Amino acid sequence: MLRNLINSADQERDKEARLRYINALVAVDPSDRYNRTMRALIHYGEERFSDALMDLEYLIIEFPDAPEVAPLIEIRNRLIEQGKSIKQ
């Protein structure tokens, strides 16, 4: 159901709703790599860099052998090089 809502929000270009629904999916299953990666990329695309970094760090630490980790490390390193940081 939440995935349908995400698709609907995408079609309507409702960025706030899309993030709200992906947040709900992450809340239901915080360790789901797909949803967490999607949220990190959404944050990155919306220039919420500290939020993106938090999700990227989680994914890199929790799933170091996952196939999608290499590009996530690259994105994380790029953000760090640009002076972005995780809000404390």
Residue 27: burial class (beta carbons within 10 Å; 0-12, 13-18, 19+): exposed
Residue 87 has pLDDT above 60, yes or no: no
- For residue range 36-74, what is the model confidence (pLDDT) as tens digits? 999 999 999 999 999 999 999 999 999 999 998 999 999
Higher pLDDT, 88 or 31: 31
Quick one: CATH architecture of 2-81? Alpha Horseshoe (1.25)
48: helix, strand or coil:
coil
How far apart, in whole angstroms, are the C-alpha atoms of residue 59 and residue 37?
A: 7
- Domain locations in the chain as residue ranges: 2-81
